[in-house]
Every structure is written in structure tokens, then in C-alpha cells.
Amino acid sequence: MSWTRKILRVNLTQGTCTPEPLNMQWANDYLGQRGLATKYLCEEIDPKCDPLSPENKMIMATGPLTGTMASTAGRYSVITKGPLTNAIACSNSGGFLGNEFKNAGWDMIIFEGKSPEPVYLWISNDQVELRSAAAIWGKSAWETDDILHQIHQDPQIRVACVGRTAETGCLYSGIINDKHRAAGRSGVGTVMASKNLKAVAVRGTLGVGNVRDFGKFMSAVNDAKKVLADNAVTGQGLPAYGTQVLMNVMNGVGGLPSYNMKNVGFEGAQNISGEAMHEPRASDGKANLTTNAACFGCTIACGRISTVDKTHFTIENKPQYWGASGGLEYESAWSLGADTGIDDLNTITFVNFLCNEDGFDPISYGCTVAAAMEMFEAGDLTLEDTGGIELRFGSSEAFVQATEALVSGQGFGKDLGLGSKRLCEKYGRPELSMQVKGLEFPAYDPRGLQGIGLNYATSNRGACHVRGYTVASEILGIPVKTEQTATEGKAELVKAFQDATALVDSAGLCLFTTFAWGMDNIAPQVDGACEGDWTVEKCLEVGERIWNLERQFNNDAGFTSNDDKLPRRMLEEAIKGGPTDGQVNRLGEMLPKYYEIRGWTDKGEITAETKARLSL
Amino acid sequence: MQKSLHIEAAKCTGCLQCELACSYEHTGAFNPSRSYIKVFNFHHEGRFAPYTCTQCDEAWCQRACPVDAISIDVRTGAKVISDSSCVGCKVCTIACPFGTVNYSQVTGKVVKCDLCGGDPECARACPTGAITYIDADWTGYSRMQKSAARSLPAAEASAS
């Protein structure tokens, strides 16, 4: 089993909390977390609804492995219709929240409606209630976490909450748990705040015990842990450098974009790399990196815990930032650093702290600032527009001022909260927004890596690397090396990664295991834990079904093949210099093939035949 | 040979695999809230510390128990609770200077580390070697070795 077979329905309009049995037929078809919650969402909301209206619902979901001893099995996801994209949104977080939900006895929580007053949900096993959020509304995510611990007088509760930017409508606000883990992308925090829901505080002590075949499960779990330990990426590279192991690698292969993706290659990459985080500072002799850290049950431990130099201008009179907290990962180091042209490790670590403190997506935020910087330098944005901020590439001072403006929710901060697509449209330069379906690009240039371009264009939640991480194959040779600048075979590669990832997410595992694990490592763990015959083939079929269900939601919401596209810069402005000199993304060579192998029409619609094959 | 749990906090990543393994061994479910070993997260310092019973030779808990429910497992030296004798009076939880004996609302008894009969599951599950089960006489061995290396002139230390 492993599912608790119980879901909690919270009607915020009426203030009711009602347990329901889990639909086990759907669990068999969609496994859990991302897949299963998407099924519930598709059955329960109108895909055309306004994402910030009470008609939208928000689901927090665990997977069947969440809370077990499988490595990395502590994850949960938030599934809703996203305000940045108007597409399906699914945002995944580690830390220690998912396992606490599961230990409290719940597979998922469905939030519907809108509370008349700010509230938070308190869960203590099967005792569940909505309480007034008067003491925490208007507070940062860090303060909210501290206050809820004080109120409940229990150091062992876990808190997921939104910060101030979600309350003031920033469209890429996330949900923070454990102070520095985040369901960060797609604006799921903005949806949560729109429902007047500030936080969920959980204490679960029931245990996760209903594993189908314990001997089989533990045997698969132990084998799989050994695979992680013996693999160079998951056993050595990620613990030592985190995902930041990629900064110098990507720069070296012509895949690291910079300056709002005008360029590929960043001259300051070394200064903001994983290696630089280990180097002692001149001022205090300490390195940026204090330690690596694991999420629940994770035997990789890629997390970064960092400090900012106390003498740095960003924090010199702010002791609240002098302690250690969640540090830079590759994506945030790129978006807050290379994309804005800033190579000061202290500045971007500090801005990353602020992203955690108030719960906004560092990828979307960095990209939005980068687009604003390009518009400022081109004269499309004036000092009057920015409230006096000299928003030039490479300026740490301007970046910190912009971040403070965003957190305030006032003036130019309001503009920055729109995300790059709406911001660039507002100031007349829509082509300068590096996004797909409204979601900003992550840290890999689609001109230098053809497959990742196709994945961005077709990703159901907009431009996203963790929907089909072809970087593994195109750069790292996992599971096999493909030529990064070739388009042949990329449609098949993207489909394979997208389907497998949907399954990994839906099990409750971390995608980073797949640097070492194949489906032949994952399926036996699911099979040992869950009822049903979870072969590799079934896992891949479920992954493909989930992908198509998400696509169907988007099509029903009004998306078409016209939305499976990349910005003009990626298609027409060739890379100048470096290992990928002269490259553009050749999406047109890959997209028709991708539709064909997915069993979709040339307009990107799912054919009746494909729906029948996947029992959609 | 008597063995001890040896905890090197600097190696801990806070993953809680030890708590999962301990709770499964003792309760039949993955349930960190019922683990006898706890990992503490000192967030602002970026440090983690696994902590559990050190199995004192002259154990405060054992001396305090009014019904002789705590005995010594002669194979391992562990102080173990007899559930059939324990009355849940909690005096041992007050006596223990380290807080590693605790009352369980679920069972109505006190609970503590019993070294799993000589093969501690926490040590088996720890992915980083932060928790090991080693010769009780030599829990300082690796630190002593490091200190010894530091005491050598630089050239000799690097050659060793």
C-alpha cells in the first residue's frame, strides 16, 4: 500500500475540513503526488478558470514512497492552475514537510474556495482545524515559521507558508517549508495567498507502516542506496558542490547563458561557482559554504548551507542575516548571478536568502530583473520607472534595492512582481522576456543544448529544466551521451526524460536520484511498497499518462501548438564565440517529430487513439 | 569485546535515515517521532547532531528505577527496559542527565536505545559514517590519530 488511503478536503469558503477515502483506481493509474493530484485537479476545476479566483483549487500531495526509508523519499508537491502561466502548475519541494503530512496520516490535502479572513491550517494527526492567521499575516516566511513554533509550543512541528510577496500579488511566489526549502516555481504561493491561506503547520506521529512487502521493499531500497553511493555524481559531486558542480561545467561547454541570455558564457562564472563557495574569505577566513545538508531520508545530501560575509554591505548592520541558511544552488546562482551579470558571491547569496525569507522564485526573479536591466540599458525603462534604481547589469547595489522594492510590494517592486513576460509587455519589449508560456528560463541555453530547448518549448508548466532534464544526456552522458548541438534523436530523448520524470515525481522521490538511478532501480522500490504490479513498463506508461493528462489540461485551458515556442532570441540570434559559436535553437527540426512520437496531431492535440491507448 | 555507538556530528547531513531505521526496528513503522536516536538541527550554525543513550556503566536511570525494570544486556552492555516490569513512573527520565530516556504515550512505558541487541540499525543506515558501532575502548581512536598527525612536523605528516 504505502498510500494512507486518506485525503483531506479543506473548504476555505465554508471553513470545513473533511476526510475522504483516496480514489484507489486513480492511485493505480497515476501513482501519487504530481500525477494523482493532477487527476484530482482535472476532475474538479474548469481549466479555463482564473487561477487567482476561488474557483481554482490547490492540492498539496505526497507520493506513496514519501515518509519511507527509500532514499530522498520526503518530498511533496503543490498542484494547481498557475497564475504566471495559466497552465497546469506543479511545484515540488524537499525538506521535512512531505514526510510529516504522511506521518499525520494524509496522502493529500485539497484546498478549495477562499477564506473570508486570513487563516492557517493546523494538522496534528487526524485533528485538523483552520485557525486565524491574524498573528502571521504580513510576516515573512521565516517569521511565520518562528511564530507558529511559539504558538504551538512544539519544536517538532513542520511549517509550509507564504511570505510577504505572495500576499502582495507577486506572480512567482512560492511556498516555503523548513525556512529554506521551496515549492518555488509557477506561482503556487500566489495561489495559496489568494485563498487567504497563510500557512500549514503539521505534526505527524502515526508512522508510515503499510508497506506492501517489507523484505522486498528494503532489499530494493538498500540496492538503490548503494547505487547512489557508488555513483560519481550522487556519491561525490553533489555532496561536495551541490548542483553548483555545474557552474564551471556549463560555462565550459557553451551552455551557460548570461546577461538576460544575450550572451552565452559568463566571465565571472568561476567567482560564483560551487568551487568558489569552498574558498575561505579574506575577511573572516570562513568559506561561503558552511556544510552540505540533506532533505528527509536523502543519502545524497546536495543541499547548501551558507553564510554571507558579515562585513559585506548587504548585511553589515543586519544581524538577522548573520547566521547560516539555505545557500546557492546552480539555478539560483545562475539567475541571480550570471543572468544579471553579477559575480559577487555575497550579493547573490544574500538575495537568495531574501528569496527564501519571503518565498519568491529565484529563477523567475533573477530572469525578471535581467530583462529589466536590459530594458533599462536600452532606455525602455527610465529612472522614473524604476523609482530611482540605476538598474544596470552587474550592479549589486541596484539588485539589492530592486529586491527590497519587490518585497515591499510598492512602486517598481509591483512591476517586478509581474514576472518578465508581463513586465516586458508593459514596457513595449515583449521579445526581451526569456520565457515559455510565461515561465522564465532556467540555467541552460537552448541554443547550446538543442534538446533542452525542445523540452522548454513543450514543458507543461512552461520553461522548466526539471520536467525533462536532457542536460544529463547532452552534457553529462547520462544514461548515454548525445551530441548537444544535434537535433536528431532529441524528440525521443525529450519524451523519454519527460515521462520518466513524471513517474519519479509521482512516487515522492527526488529527481536528482536519476543521475544514478534508472527506472530499473525505481520500479522495484515502488513495487515493494505499493499494491499492483509496478514493473518498469507500467512505471513508464504511468509517466506517459501523467504527461498527457497535464497536456490535456493545458489544451482545455486554451493552449495550442502556438504556445510550444521559444523566444526569437533563441531561434535567430546566434551564439557569438565559445564552444557553441554560431548556434541557434532549431526547434522546427524537432517539434513535428516530438508531436508524432507523442501521438499528437500536428497542432499538438492528443489524438483519440493516444487517449484510448493511455486510458485517458 | 564491548562496542559503543560512536557519533561524529561533523559528518551528519541531517537526513534522518537513522531515525527511520530505529523506529522501524522498534515499532514496525517508519516513524521518526518514535525513534530512540534523534538528530538535532542547529539551523543558524549549519550543524547537525545525532544524539542517543551512551549506555553509562553506572546508569542513573537504572539506579533510579524503583521496580528494577532496567537491566544490563550482558552481550552488549546496553541498559534495556523490561516492558513487563516498567510502570511508566518516569523517574528514570528525570534521573538521566542527558535526556535520552523518554516516556512514550503510545506504550505507557519509557523507551531508550537498546543497541538493537548488538547490531544497531542506526549505524547500518547512516550514509556518511556519522554513526558507527566500534570498540568501546577506542571511540577516540580516529581523533587521536588526527591529533597525532598534526603533532608531526609538516613534511613527515604529509609523507605518512
Span A373-398, pLDDT tens digits? 999 999 999 999 999 999 999 999 99
Q: C-alpha distances in angstroms, A418 versus A44, A79, A161, A381, A421? A: 28, 21, 21, 15, 8
Q: Could you write out the DSSP letters of every residue in B112-136?
A: ---GGGGS-HHHHH-SSSSEEEEEG
What percent of chain A is modeled with pLDDT above 90?
A: 99
Same domain, B128 and B157: yes
What number is the average pLDDT over the span A443-469?
97
Residue A207 with chain B: CB contacts under 8 Å:
23, 27, 29-31, 33-34
pLDDT tens digits along A493-540: 999 999 999 999 999 999 999 999 999 999 999 999 999 999 999 999
Task: Pinpoint the alpha helices (H) of A4-97.
Answer: 24-30, 33-44
- Number of structural domains in chain B: 2
Task: Name the amino acid, one letter, at A277.
Answer: M
Is A194 in a helix, a strand, or coil? helix
Which range marks the domain in which residue B147 is found?
Answer: 1-52+116-160
pLDDT of B155: 60
- How many beta-carbon pairs below 8 A join chains A and B? 86
Question: Best interface-test mutation with B: which of A68, A296, A302, A321 has the largest number of B CBs within 10 A?
Answer: A296
Which chain B residue's Cα is nearest to A295?
B15
CB contact under 8 A, A209 and B29: yes
| ipTM for the assembly | 0.95
Same domain, B122 and B85: no
Length of chain A in terms of residues written? 616
Same domain, B48 and B60: no
* Average pLDDT along chain A: 97
Which chain B residue's Cα is nearest to A228?
B127
Domains located in chain A, CATH noted: 6-203 (3.60.9.10), 256-435 (1.10.569.10), 444-613 (1.10.599.10)
pLDDT of B160: 46
**What is the DSSP secondary structure assignment for residue A233, as one 8-state letter?**
I
Residue A307 with chain B: CB contacts under 8 Å:
46
CA A170 to CA A168: how far, in whole Å? Answer: 6
Q: Give the domain CATH number at B44.
A: 3.30.70.20
Residue A225 with chain B: CB contacts under 8 Å:
127
pLDDT of A591: 98
Task: Pinpoint the alpha helices (H) of A82-237.
Answer: 98-103, 141-152, 164-167, 188-194, 214-230, 232
Which secondary-structure segment (H or E) carries A526?
Answer: helix A519-529
**What is the DSSP secondary structure assignment for residue A580, as one 8-state letter?**
T
CA A523 to CA A542: how far, in whole Å? Answer: 11
Task: Name the amino acid, one letter, at A298.
Answer: C
Same domain, B48 and B120: yes
Same domain, B59 and B93: yes
Listed by number, the residues of chain B in 20-49 with a beta carbon closer than 8 Å to a beta carbon of chain A are: 20-21, 23-24, 27-34, 43-48
> If pLDDT is split at 50, 70 and 90, which confidence band does A210 have?
confident
Cell readout for A233 is 555524481
Task: Name the amino acid, one letter, at A98.
Answer: G
pLDDT tens digits along B130-144: 999 999 999 999 899
Same domain, B64 and B138: no
Same domain, B7 and B44: yes
pLDDT tens digits along A250-297: 999 999 999 999 999 999 999 999 999 999 999 999 999 999 999 999
Structural contact between residues A178 and A95, judged by C-beta atoms closer than 8 angstroms: yes
What number is the average pLDDT over the span A36-46?
98
CB contact under 8 A, A209 and B30: yes
A291 → closest Cβ in B17, B31, B46: B46
Among A92, A106, A83, A98, smallest CA distance to A22 is for A106
Same domain, B63 and B108: yes
Same domain, B44 and B62: no
> If pLDDT is split at 50, 70 and 90, which confidence band does A1 have?
low
What number is the average pLDDT over the span B105-121?
97
Same domain, B65 and B138: no
Name the packing angle between helices A490-507 and A587-598 (round to 10°).
60
Measured in angstroms, the CA of A221 and the nearest CA of chain B are apart by 11
Q: Residue A307 pLDDT more than 50?
A: yes
**What is the DSSP secondary structure assignment for residue A337, as one 8-state letter?**
T
CB contact under 8 A, B14 and A294: yes
pLDDT tens digits along B58-96: 999 999 999 999 999 999 999 999 999 999 999 999 999
Measured in angstroms, the CA of B126 and the nearest CA of chain A are apart by 8
Question: Best interface-test mutation with B: which of A2, A103, A525 has the largest number of B CBs within 10 A?
Answer: A103
CA A29 to CA A38: how far, in whole Å? Answer: 12
**What is the DSSP secondary structure assignment for residue A441, as one 8-state letter?**
P
Same domain, B5 and B46: yes
Same domain, B44 and B83: no
CA B134 to CA A448: how far, in whole Å? Answer: 52
CB contact under 8 A, B15 and A291: no
Q: Residue A209 pLDDT more than 90?
A: no
> If pLDDT is split at 50, 70 and 90, which confidence band does B153 have?
confident
pLDDT of A254: 98
Please, what sign has the CA dihedral across residues A536, A538, A542, A548?
Answer: positive
CB contact under 8 A, A324 and B13: no
Task: Pinpoint the alpha helices (H) of A104-258.
Answer: 141-152, 164-167, 188-194, 214-230, 232, 238-241, 246-252
